[in-house]
Amino acid sequence: MFPAMRSLRGISIAVFVVQALLASVALVSAKGSTNLSRWQTLSGNAPFVIARGGFSGIFADSSVDAYSLALSTGPPDVILWCDVQLTKDAAGICFPDLKLDNNSDIAVVYENQQKAYLVNGASTKGWFAIDYTLKDLRNVILTQGVYSRTNKFDGNGYTIMTVQDTYTQFKPPGFWLNIQHDAFYAQHNLSMRNFVLSVTRNVNVTVDYISSPEVAFLQSIAERFRRSATKLVFRFLGQNDVEPSTNQTYDSLLKNLTFIKTFASGIIVPKSYIWPVDGSLYLLPSTSVVLDAHKERLEVFASEFYNDVPFSFSYSYDPVAEYLKFVDNGNFSVDGVISDFPITPSAALDCFAHLGKNASKQADLLVISKNGASGDFPGCTDLAYLKAIEDGVDVLDCPVQMTGDGTPICLGSINLIDSTTIAQSSFSNLTATIPEIGQGSGIFTFNLSWSDIQSLTPVISSPQSDFQLFRNPKLKNAGKFLTLSDFLAMAKNASSLHGVLIGIENAPYLSEQGFGVTDAVLNALSKAGYDEQTAQTVMIQSSNSSVLKKFKGKTNYKLVYKVDEDIGGAPSGTIDDIKRLASAVVISKDSVFPKNAAFLTGVTNVVPRLQAANLSVFVQTFSNEFTSQAWDFFSDATVEINSFYMGAGINGVITDFPKTSDRYRRNRCLNRGSKIPGYMSPVQPGGLWLLITLPYLPPAEAPNPYLTEGDVVEPPLPPVAAKTPTSNLSGAATAPTSPNGQPKVAACVIAPLTAMLIAIYLLF
Ligand SMILES: *[C@@H]1O[C@H](CO)[C@@H](O)[C@H](O)[C@H]1NC(C)=O
Ligand SMILES: *[C@@H]1O[C@H](CO)[C@@H](O)[C@H](O)[C@H]1NC(C)=O
Ligand SMILES: *[C@@H]1O[C@H](CO)[C@@H](O)[C@H](O)[C@H]1NC(C)=O
Ligand SMILES: *[C@@H]1O[C@H](CO)[C@@H](O)[C@H](O)[C@H]1NC(C)=O
Ligand SMILES: *[C@@H]1O[C@H](CO)[C@@H](O)[C@H](O)[C@H]1NC(C)=O
Ligand SMILES: *[C@@H]1O[C@H](CO)[C@@H](O)[C@H](O)[C@H]1NC(C)=O
Ligand SMILES: *[C@@H]1O[C@H](CO)[C@@H](O)[C@H](O)[C@H]1NC(C)=O
Ligand SMILES: *[C@@H]1O[C@H](CO)[C@@H](O)[C@H](O)[C@H]1NC(C)=O
Ligand SMILES: *[C@@H]1O[C@H](CO)[C@@H](O)[C@H](O)[C@H]1NC(C)=O
Ligand SMILES: *[C@@H]1O[C@H](CO)[C@@H](O)[C@H](O)[C@H]1NC(C)=O
Ligand SMILES: *[C@@H]1O[C@H](CO)[C@@H](O)[C@H](O)[C@H]1NC(C)=O
Ligand SMILES: *[C@@H]1O[C@H](CO)[C@@H](O)[C@H](O)[C@H]1NC(C)=O
């Protein structure tokens, strides 16, 4: 089944484990199931997936595991890309960079042997292949050259492979040689021309494409390949970069595609040539490059697709959405995409392209929003909710908070600093620390009236801001907050909704302060007509069982117990406690697939045990930003969702990007029974972890604690205290008093200032 198994010269043991990474299922033809006539490619066939250096997004570029993983996660006609460098003894090796110190440990092996050469006129320092024979390079090890990617496989001993070995070991369905620097090698009397002619003459190596950004090189071989099956492709670099043999910018070369066609049958363009972005990284209208090239009968390959480099905000951090824009936009399709993460375009092309909004659901997976579509708009605003509905959410969520004047509203946090600019407003002096609510200070919803809260500016959440990943900056302050009643009216009006989920936290504290949040929720639901027989389900969610008890038996609402911590297991007694109260449980992603150093280490039995007790299992939080996902999911939210659904069998996702989850369950690859392709197979939790060698293995971590009965069983909610006088509301004016009548200590306002500054820094 696995092509890499035939010839194993110099192959690392890791390759065997890579196969186990993906549940082994039969591959089916990507082309077989898609409607060919829909592709607006030059040939009318589906575009190609070209794996740059193999699956270089996870393993070292050009390494045996990178190529193996590309084969097992790509379509049956995946093309393996090899960047060719020449050694001193004219051997062609696959290596991504002219400088060997980028992507290998050569700087350690040949310490102090750095050289400087002119490369396209610029003096460049480093270790160059021209100074080493193939034999010299035998003990040089490939490493991850992109520092934001994991270096945990750098101990795996991946050796540098020749072009021919790469071909014979993998017998790839498609093989692509990129010759980035012919001029440089020519200066050193090494001929790329001789190399490609000899390698393609060798009957056992079939080269499908040869690309280069150098006109003279392609011209020099064009005649020899005119009648061969090998296609020549001109590679465009940056628009203002100068092509060394014509001394023209790539931009000006783009203006005469007729000229390009004289020596090439296709072009590679960076993706921004096709879909440019504005200065803030939002998409501009597409250019006519693809249509122009197709008019010249030139194939177009788009490059620079990386799941883990921030791309246009217009895609909401969803890499599948980006590929679809290039192959399924109604006007044109590129003929291939060059990717470091080939699993993503493979699924995009075969499973998601031309799906249509009405494609039927193939997965029994409930999509529950997290503060609406809070990946795209400030959480719990009208815009976030409308977007979630538009995006196909099943269950719209409202985390209920109480205002000082007793109005239940929807807001992701009881602390207004988390979702508004209140820290910079005149209400900033309402900052307080309330240990019952949590550590640190905040400005709490119950200290402002509803009208004051309405006057605040919403702020989009940016949970990945530590990694400089921010959400939708253009609309980061858009939208209006809603009362629970507004929310219910909006939800009831949306016929596509399956239901609403009302989250209640901090009820005991609120009760003591005179806010009866459970009654307020019951009231609002009743007023909105949700206690009659409605088509929509009402779910009440809390992490405190005493809240759910208040609803138990009174209504036919579905009760959802939220487990606040990461758990490693749940004993029967605890599950029975939950079962007595609730019909569904919310757990964290880590409680399903625990991880260490962002690698999955295995799978718990929490999901099957809860399901055996007839409890539905919802998991949170599924986000599109790649930094929120374990390495195992290849920086692709769809792979993560698929692995939780197909691999762990969860019943629902809680997500701030409902569009991605809804689209996932409509994908056409899910209904292929036992013929699910590799790219739509769940990852093997712990598969990557097994590949890490000892010196790189992170220290073992203690497993997550078990959920115990003490966690679930709680004393009943305290009675609602006598209502706090509303005069306290402006807070500002009257010095707040504590229950014992003593004025509050001023110090509690001073300490929070630093916290506020930190909060402001994080928000902007
Ligand atoms: C392919 O798509 C075209 C246009 O959408 C449609 O007319 C045709 O019937 C489809 N063919 C198949 C085999 O589904
Ligand atoms: C190293 O190589 C990667 C591609 O493998 C490239 O993206 C990066 O820019 C290179 N870094 C340097 C310093 O040349
Ligand atoms: C390349 O070959 C030419 C002619 O054989 C010779 O003069 C030149 O020195 C060589 N250059 C290098 C860099 O080896
Ligand atoms: C081509 O492959 C065959 C069988 O795999 C082998 O016997 C032969 O030596 C190879 N030829 C060359 C030129 O490598
Ligand atoms: C390349 O073009 C620049 C200006 O566009 C000119 O200054 C330079 O001399 C040219 N170089 C060659 C080798 O033609
Ligand atoms: C474009 O290239 C073709 C083919 O080389 C040439 O005949 C033509 O004059 C060029 N057009 C322009 C505007 O340079
Ligand atoms: C398709 O082309 C039409 C006409 O040029 C244009 O109005 C439309 O925006 C294009 N659509 C896309 C997705 O580029
Ligand atoms: C999709 O479904 C909606 C509602 O069921 C319908 O109004 C719309 O016409 C459908 N669109 C397509 C393209 O079938
Ligand atoms: C209900 O939906 C309709 C259209 O679907 C819309 O015009 C109306 O404003 C909505 N009402 C509320 C209260 O959201
Ligand atoms: C749950 O609520 C009870 C009051 O009903 C309270 O005593 C308990 O501390 C709460 N538990 C948590 C974890 O907040
Ligand atoms: C905030 O509200 C709580 C509960 O009503 C009250 O005890 C406290 O004094 C208020 N704090 C401020 C600063 O107004
Ligand atoms: C809080 O700020 C308001 C408005 O700026 C001001 O009127 C009030 O005096 C301040 N209150 C305190 C306790 O600092």
Give residue-wise pLDDT tens across range 145-189. Answer: 998 999 999 999 999 999 999 999 999 999 999 999 999 999 999
DSSP string, 585-636: EEEEHHHHS-EETTEE----SHHHHHHHTT-EEEEEEE-SSGGGS-GGGTT-
Query: Is the same domain home to 629 and 492?
Result: yes
Q: How much is the pLDDT for 673?
A: 85
37 lines ligand 1 (CB under 6 A): yes
330 lines ligand 8 (CB under 6 A): no
Neighbour tally for 278: CB within 10 Å:
12
Residue 755 lies in a domain: no
Average pLDDT over residues 520-530: 95
Is the CB of residue 599 less than 8 Å from the CB of residue 684?
no
- pLDDT: which is higher, 4 or 531: 531
Q: What is the 3-state secondary structure (H, E, C) of 341-370?
A: CCHHHHHHHHHHCCCCCCCCCCCCCEEEEE
Report, in angstroms and rounded to the nearest whole number, the Rg of the chain calculated over CA atoms: 29
Residue 535 has pLDDT above 80, yes or no: yes
Residue 436 lies in a domain: yes
Give residue-wise pLDDT tens across range 646-656. Answer: 999 999 999 99
CA atoms within 13 A on the CB side of 497: 28
User: What's the structural domain count of the chain?
Assistant: 2
Give residue-wise pLDDT tens across range 537-553. Answer: 999 999 999 999 999 98
Query: Is the same domain home to 372 and 340?
Result: no
Pairing of strands 599-600, 595-596: antiparallel
Residue 383 has pLDDT above 80, yes or no: yes
CATH number of the domain that residue 188 is part of: 3.20.20.190
Pick from 128, 189, 191 the residue to mutate for probing ligand 3's pocket: most ligand atoms within 8 Å of its CB: 189
Residue 312 lies in a domain: yes
Query: Is the same domain home to 298 and 402?
Result: no
**Max CA separation in the chain (angstroms):** 95
356 lines ligand 8 (CB under 6 A): yes
Ligand number with the minimum distance to the CA of 199:
4
255 lines ligand 6 (CB under 6 A): no
Query: Is the same domain home to 501 and 635?
Result: yes
Ligand 7 atom 5 nearest Cα: 331
Q: Which ranges in 156-214 belong to alpha helices (H)?
A: 163-170, 182-187, 192-201
Closest atom of ligand 7 to 329 CA is 13
Query: Is the same domain home to 323 and 459?
Result: no
Average pLDDT over residues 14-43: 56
Please tell me what DSSP assigns to residue 400. Answer: E
Ligand 2 atom 9 nearest Cα: 146
Pairing of strands 231-235, 266-270: parallel
- pLDDT: which is higher, 226 or 738: 226
Mean pLDDT of the chain: 91
Average pLDDT over residues 711-731: 75
168 lines ligand 4 (CB under 6 A): no
Average pLDDT over residues 17-46: 60
Query: pLDDT exceeding 90 applies to what percent of the chain?
Result: 86
Query: Is the same domain home to 283 and 375?
Result: no
Is the CB of residue 114 less than 8 Å from the CB of residue 125?
yes
Residue 238 has pLDDT above 70, yes or no: yes
CA distances from 651 to 294, 542, 609, 642, 659 (A): 45, 18, 13, 12, 17
Ligand 4 atom 9 nearest Cα: 204
Which range (64-73, 341-350, 352-361, 753-762) has the least confidence?
753-762
Which range (490-494, 521-525, 722-726) has the least confidence?
722-726
Q: How far is ligand 4, taken at its centre, from the CA of residue 202, in Å? A: 9
Query: Is the same domain home to 46 and 179?
Result: yes
Ligand 6 atom 13 nearest Cα: 256
Q: How far is ligand 3, taken at its centre, from the CA of residue 692, in Å? A: 45
Q: How far is ligand 2, taken at its centre, from the CA of residue 146, in Å? A: 6
Q: How much is the pLDDT for 22?
A: 54
Residue 732 has pLDDT above 80, yes or no: no
Residue 290 has pLDDT above 50, yes or no: yes
Residue 207 has pLDDT above 50, yes or no: yes
Give residue-wise pLDDT tens across range 603-643. Answer: 999 999 999 999 999 999 999 999 999 999 999 999 999 99
Residue 361 lies in a domain: no
Residue 717 has pLDDT above 50, yes or no: yes
Query: Is the same domain home to 632 and 663?
Result: yes
Query: pLDDT exceeding 70 applies to what percent of the chain?
Result: 90
Residue 651 lies in a domain: yes
Ligand 3 atom 7 nearest Cα: 189
495 lines ligand 8 (CB under 6 A): no
Q: Report the distance separating Cα 53 and Cα 58, nearest Å.
A: 11
Average pLDDT over residues 207-224: 98
Q: Report the distance separating Cα 124 and Cα 721, nearest Å.
A: 74
Give residue-wise pLDDT tens across range 85-107. Answer: 999 999 999 999 999 999 999 99
Q: Among 293, 328, 352, give the residue marking a domain's end.
A: 352
Residue 47 has pLDDT above 60, yes or no: yes
Residue 399 lies in a domain: yes
Query: Is the same domain home to 399 and 494?
Result: yes
Residue position matching structure tokens 């757990």: 587
Q: How much is the pLDDT for 447?
A: 97
Q: Which ranges in 466-615 belong to alpha helices (H)?
A: 484-493, 507-512, 517-527, 545-551, 572-581, 589-592, 606-612
My answer on whether omega of the bond before 621 falls inside 30° of 0, hence cis, is yes
Q: Report the distance separating Cα 667 and Cα 680, nearest Å.
A: 9
Ligand 11 atom 5 nearest Cα: 513
Query: Is the same domain home to 297 and 424?
Result: no
Q: How much is the pLDDT for 204?
A: 84
Average pLDDT over residues 122-129: 97
Q: Report the distance separating Cα 321 and Cα 325, nearest Å.
A: 6
Pick from 424, 426, 456, 734 the residue to mutate for probing ligand 12's pocket: most ligand atoms within 8 Å of its CB: 426
Closest atom of ligand 9 to 489 CA is 13
Q: Among 691, 712, 733, give the residue marking a domain's end.
A: 712
Residue 340 lies in a domain: yes
Closest by CA to 494, choosing from 334, 322, 372, is 372
Closest atom of ligand 9 to 490 CA is 14
Closest atom of ligand 4 to 202 CA is 13
Structural domain boundaries, residue 700 = 366-712
Residue 736 has pLDDT above 50, yes or no: no
Identify the bridge partners of residue 368 per DSSP, sorted by sequence position.
395, 654
Q: How much is the pLDDT for 12?
A: 44
Give residue-wise pLDDT tens across range 738-756. Answer: 333 333 333 333 333 333 3
Give residue-wise pLDDT tens across range 649-694. Answer: 999 999 999 999 999 999 999 989 889 999 999 999 999 999 999 9
Closest atom of ligand 3 to 188 CA is 13
Closest by CA to 168, choosing from 199, 195, 143, 197, is 199
Closest atom of ligand 1 to 38 CA is 2
Query: Is the same domain home to 441 and 329?
Result: no
Q: How far is ligand 4, taken at its centre, from the CA of residue 204, in Å? A: 6
Average pLDDT over residues 19-24: 50
Q: How much is the pLDDT for 21?
A: 57
Give residue-wise pLDDT tens across range 568-584. Answer: 999 999 999 999 999 99
pTM of this structure: 0.90
Query: Is the same domain home to 463 and 612?
Result: yes
Neighbour tally for 513: CB within 10 Å:
20
CA distances from 30 to 33, 34, 349, 351, 679 (A): 6, 7, 8, 9, 10
Q: Is 426 exposed, middle or buried (0-12, 13-18, 19+ CB in 10 A)?
A: exposed
Residue 491 lies in a domain: yes
Q: How far is ligand 3, taken at its centre, from the CA of residue 186, in Å? A: 10
Q: How much is the pLDDT for 323?
A: 98
Q: Report the distance separating Cα 546 and Cα 452, nearest Å.
A: 31
Give residue-wise pLDDT tens across range 430-466. Answer: 999 999 999 899 999 999 999 999 999 999 999 999 9
Q: How much is the pLDDT for 172?
A: 97
258 lines ligand 6 (CB under 6 A): yes
Q: Report the distance separating Cα 471 and Cα 44, nearest Å.
A: 37
Q: How much is the pLDDT for 729?
A: 59
